Structure 1
Amino acid sequence: MAETKNSRFPIYAVIITVIFKLLFLLTHYIQEDAFITWRVAQNLLDYGVIGFNGDTKISASTTHLYVFVSYIFNLIFGKENFIEPLLIFNSILFTVGTLFLSHLVLRNPWHKAVFIFLMGILPPAVKISILGMEYGILFFLEMVLLYYGFHKGKRWVLTLLPVLIMFTRIDTVIFLGIVFVVDVLWNRKIRWNYVFGGILGVLSTVAFNWFYFGELVNNTITAKKLLYEQTFTFEQHISYFLVSFGNFWGMMKLPGNFNPVTIIVLIFELLCFIYLIRKREKRNYFLWMIFIFGWTKQIIFISQKSLFDWYYWVPQLLLFVPVLIFVLEQKQKRNLWLSLLIVFYILPMLAFQAVHSIATGNGEWNYRRTIGLFLNTYEKDKNQWILLEPAGYVPYFSGLKTIDEVGLVDKKIQEEIVKDKTHYWINTVKTRKPKYLLSYKNLYEGDHADSLYYQTHYKLLKEFRVKDHLQSDYKILEKIYHLKPSGTDYNLYIRVD
């Protein structure tokens, strides 16, 4: 009876962890790009087309599977009420994924329960759960693949899951490839079901892109590469890496170029991993998979100048797994080790994420969302266009047709970037004549010819300032808002001719 009760500890931990993380929903910290995916889902609902602006097809979202999941939630709960149920769903999926991971690397039910909770309250885990991105479903699918496919040997899982994983994000080919290599080296044989599943995953994703959108890879990849690509010398590459890795390899995104905490944690993660793999145990098979994947994904994305922090959430967590195992399995002074880990790392990380979520949620939900709500009320004709960056909150809450300056949701601006990358913004304004411009800067200043054009054809409609949204009836919240003000000042212009 006691053994049955103990075996339920991990399930209880899943429930407790999900409930605990639901507190973060109160911060309204939702990632900008989530609203791009959700608008694509609603565009599918309204027009029957995967797009962003009416019946024009475009892969504006990085994830196809999550678009369909979001579509279903919109269908069930309605456009006004789907967000909270979807975020709860994401949190549940991610936490169940940590349950499967605990089964792969731990034996003791109590250890599994502690593992699930501690991993679930780390900053990347909180963000995966409540920011509205596709990583909750992605982490769940990846852990299902490892647990049921490679641990339980379910052949249908080895075939089906790579398809779903690739359809969630195309860059998961890195994860699938690392798992394949480690499996072959460990078992000295090839799982042909998995090979077939991988091939099917690549072909189905590429075929969907080609036959539906007329492109091999998602438009988001093409757009970012076109606008952000630069030529670097070897020295510049090294300098860029040293500037960037601290913020994206660790779990804290701190201001400045150097994050010493990251280096300390990286070294400890590596030492714990080496300690655990000294003996050939079955769980090391999975430790090799997740650890090599973590390092590989980090190195590839940092080397490609990928500065969006959500690319690093899953690797950050997987690289930290050996630390949790090491601490939980200490035979002597385990409580001391665990207390030190919680007091000096887990709790500070949780506090850091709480402050970050409150401040950023204020900057996004209470500030940037108000711009969209203002436009939604001010402009009744939803066929009017706005040129802006980024394409999340404001387009979603305004309902206006959108040109974003990166080209994620509108391909025509990419043509202007190809023609004249330096002047593509003003050229787009002159060619497309959008009714609204939302800019970080004062368009009446700068290049004389450009500023003269803006003064002639556009008037300043409203200024939006971060400083106007740093107040709260609760003094603690107000202090946090001032401690870490989040957002960007904007000027909204309207065409006068």
Structure 2
Amino acid sequence: MSQAQNKYIPIYAVVFSVIVKCLFFLTHHIQEDAFITWRVAQNLMDYGVIGFNGDTKISASTTHLYVFVSYIFNLIFGKANFIIPILTFNTILFSVGSLLLSHLLFQNNWHKALFIILFGILPPAIKISILGMEYGILFFLEMALLYYGFKKQQKWAFILFPILILFTRVDTVIFLGIVFLVDLFWNRKLRWEYILGGILGVAVCVSFNWFYFGEWVNNTIVAKKLAYDNAFTLQQNIEYFILNYGNFWGMLKVPSDFNPITILIIIFELVCFIYLVKQKEKRNYFLWIIFLFGWVKQIVFLSQKSLFDWYYWVPQILLFVPVIVFVITQKTRRNFWLASLVIFYIVPMLAFQTVHSIATGNGEWNYRRSIGLFLNQYEKDKNQWILLEPAGYVPYFSGLKTIDEVGLVDKKIQEEIKKDKSSIWINTIEKRHPKYLLANKDLFEGKNGEFYRSKYTLLKEFRIKDHLKSENPLLEKIYRLKPSGTDYNLYVRIN
């Protein structure tokens, strides 16, 4: 079959990849922070303000573009029905992005199709697609920039995509910077259109923050830096790296300091990359871009103690691209390499992600969402406040105004963090008197127990063990194999 005859094969692979990942919707595995973005979008609907609590402006979401996309989906489908449509949208965008990436790496359409399928069912690809975060949009925009800008040489792409990319996440300056440097060293010339696009992207993002929120960078960045700031010694930094590197360079989290699987994967990725770039192929230009970006992004974020695993999804999967390309392009023993990759890595990783999504979906959708639903029914006055951490499922499904201890959705608590990080709960309660407290410990025990007992009473206990049951015996085994969730106590203020 000629290339012209099988030109639709990659499209069929995209459709297949989307269908496979849509099956994961059944697990209800949705990231906590997605509900922050969606509540900001709904706050814009209800109050005409980008915020979290009524008419108070705050950049509570890490992404501006995705807030507006979520706003549109809420308008079209309604608050009760938009989640599956927007998850499908994210999944389609990621899969189209993988199609564009395949065009950068392969000439043969069968190779493209195989790449799209293998690439699309790896754990980071599944999480990017289905967890409700902005990375499906971001991956599509980044691959569209490489394809339409640097492959097709479309000048409009150099202007448009950097603006959209930076308006999605400001930390994408790392990606745009790596692309600029590789292109400069590769082609020995400046692309003024691309430079203009980058300048406009920064200007649009910073100007929007300043003129709308009165701040230069998103509140989320300020809040996390303030709440998680740690001054480490050199020895502590080394210990920290050893403890965490395996969780971010690899594709699965292993509860141990030493992760030999990750070391093997890193070595194999490097070997495959070196093997490929030694060949005189046009794809080397793009391999250098995605591989250098993957390493730089990982190192920068790990050095800043960024423990949230979604920061690493895109780098994780891009670093694995040379492995897939190496296997697919083998002229001898390709079937052996392909079978080995699928049997010993792809299938186990897919199985791991399936178990992880089922267990995590239970712990978050079935369990943590139930706390929000209980509060929604119990408290009819949605102007009442709750102090808790984190600010995802419970605020979204309860509808209550929220103070989170990090300060992502409420700036006032940041002042308490600056004054005395160890006493932010007590100081916030003294000043603001929230009606509800949701804590992952017994507040009546310990040195401040008398303070809490004098102002609050225990309303309800929520225990993860009560949600490790299912009529399906296989699901129950998975729930108990990998219990996901935290025990909580819900307190109400004494009138």
* 1:173-220 per-position Cα deviation (integer Å, ceiling 9, x unaligned): 000000000000000000000000001101110111011001111000
Unpaired segments ≥5 residues, structure 2: none
2:404 aligns with 404
Q: Please list the CA deviations of residues 132-188 of structure 1 after superposition, one character each: whole Å capped at 9, or x if unmatched.
A: 000000000000000000000000100110000000000000000000000000000
Segments of 4+ moved more than 2 angstroms: 1-5
Compare 394-403 and 280-289 and name the one that shifted more.
280-289
Counterpart in 1 of 2:476? 478
> Which residue identity lines up with residue 217 of structure 1 in the other structure?
V
Residue 209 (structure 2) pairs with residue 209 (structure 1): yes
Matches within 5 A, 1:282-321: 282-321=282-321
Amino acid at match of 1:339: A
Q: Which residue of 1 aligns with 2:268?
A: 268
**In 1, are the aligned partners of 2:124 and 2:251 still within 8 Å (CA)?**
yes
Aligned to 1:12: 12
Q: Deviations over 1:120-140 (max 9, x none)?
A: 000000000000000000000
3-state secondary structure, aligned to 1:5: coil
Are 1:199 and 2:221 counterparts?
no
Alpha-carbon distance, 1:3 to partner = 3.1
Counterpart amino acid of residue 491 in structure 1: N
1:136 alignment counterpart: 136
Distance 1:124 1:456 in 2: 47
Residue in structure 1 matched with residue 68 of structure 2 by the alignment: 68
Matches of 2:467 and 2:4 in 1, distance apart?
Answer: 52
Q: Which amino acid aligns with 1:60?
A: A
After TM superposition, give the deviation of residue 5 of structure 1 in Å: 2.9
Query: In the alignment, what sits opposite 1:451?
Result: 449
Q: Determine the C-alpha separation between the residues in 2 that align with 1:5 and 1:67.
A: 41
Instruction: Return the letter of the residue paired with 1:454.
Output: Y
Q: How does 1:154-173 map to 2 (within 5 A)?
A: 154-173=154-173
Q: Map residues 318-329 of structure 1 onto 2, 5 A cutoff.
A: 318-329=318-329
- What SS is found at the alignment partner of 1:463? strand
2:123 alignment counterpart:
123
CA distance in 1, matches of 2:20, 2:422: 48
Q: CA deviation at 1:421?
A: 1.4
Correspondent of 1:488 among 486, 489, 492: 486
**CA deviation digits over 1:417-457, x for unaligned, max 9?**
1111121111111111000000011000111xx21111111
Question: Which residue of structure 2 aligns with residue 87 of structure 1?
Answer: 87
Partner SS, residue 402 of structure 1:
strand
CA distance in structure 2 between the aligned counterparts of 1:311 and 1:30, rounded to whole angstroms: 16
- What secondary structure, in the 3-state scheme, does the structure 1 residue paired with 2:3 have? helix
Distance 1:63 1:157 in 2: 21
SS at match of 2:75: helix
Pairs aligned (count): 495
User: What letter is aligned with 1:163?
Assistant: I
Q: Deviations over 1:62-118 (max 9, x none)?
A: 000000000000000000000000000000000000000000011111111010001
Give the match for residue 438 of structure 1.
Answer: 438
Would the aligned equivalents of 2:3 and 2:108 in 1 still touch at CA under 8 Å? no
1:8-50 deviation line (CA, Å, top 9, x unaligned): 1100000011011110000000000000000000000100000
1:22 aligned residue: 22
3-state SS of the aligned residue for 1:29? coil
Aligned equivalent of 2:342: 342
Structure 2 letter corresponding to 1:126 = I
Q: 1-side partners of 2:392 and 2:67: how far apart?
A: 15
- Partners of 2:144 and 2:310 lie apart in 1 by 21
CA distance in 2, matches of 1:118, 1:281: 22
Is contact 2:3–2:109 with CA below 8 Å preserved after alignment? no
What do you get for the CA RMSD once the two structures are aligned?
Answer: 0.7
Whole-angstrom distance in 2 between the partners of 1:266 and 1:383:
50
* Secondary structure at the counterpart of residue 380 of structure 2: coil
Q: Distance in 2 between matches of 1:361 and 1:424?
A: 31
Q: Distance in 1 between matches of 2:428 and 2:257?
A: 35
Aligned residue identity for 1:459: T
The 2-side partners of 1:81 and 1:319 are apart by 36
Task: List per-residue Cα deviations over 1:327-366 (Å, max 9, x = no partner).
Answer: 0011111011000000000000000000000000000000
Query: Helix, strand or coil: the match of 1:403?
Result: strand
> What are the superposed Cα offsets for residues 349-386 of structure 1, whole Å, 9 maximum, x if unpaired?
00000000000000000000000000000000000000
Cα-to-partner distance string for 1:375-409 (whole Å, 9 max, x where unaligned):
00000000000000000000000000000000000
Q: Is 1:464 paired with 2:482?
A: no
| Worse-matched range after superposition: 251-260 or 348-357 | 251-260
Between the aligned partners of 1:233 and 1:3, the Cα distance in structure 2 is 58
3-state SS of the aligned residue for 1:116? Answer: helix
In the alignment, the residues of structure 2 paired with residue 378 and residue 241 of structure 1 have an alpha-carbon distance, to the nearest angstrom, of: 45
Aligned partners of 2:338 and 2:56: how far apart in 1?
54
CA distance in 1, matches of 2:257, 2:347: 24
**Which residue identity does 1:308 align to in structure 2?**
F
CA distance in 1, matches of 2:295, 2:3: 37
2:276, 2:322 within 8 Å by CA — same for their partners in 1? yes
Q: Given residue 476 of structure 2, which amino acid in structure 1 is its aligned partner?
A: E
Q: CA deviation at 1:2?
A: 4.2
Of the structure 1 ranges 2-11 and 310-319, higher mean CA displacement relative to structure 2 is found in 2-11
Give the structure 1 partner of residue 32 of structure 2.
32
The separation in 2 between residues aligned to 1:440 and 1:95, in whole angstroms, is 38
Distance in 2 separating the partners of 1:184 and 1:2: 37
Tell me the amino acid that sits aligned with residue 212 of structure 1.
Answer: Y
In 2: Cα distance, 1:68 partner to 1:254 partner: 36
SS at match of 1:4: coil
Question: Residues 345-424 of structure 1: matches in 2 within 5 Å?
Answer: 345-424=345-424
Distance 2:267 2:207 in 1: 42
Structure 2 Cα separation of the partners of residues 11 and 46 of structure 1? 39
What CA distance in whole angstroms lies between the structure 2 residues aligned with 1:370 and 1:250? 32
Q: What residue identity is the alignment partner of 1:305?
A: K
SS at match of 1:462: strand
Contact 2:164 2:201 in 1 (8 A): yes
Q: Give, in whole Å, the separation in 2 of the partners of 1:446 and 1:108.
A: 66
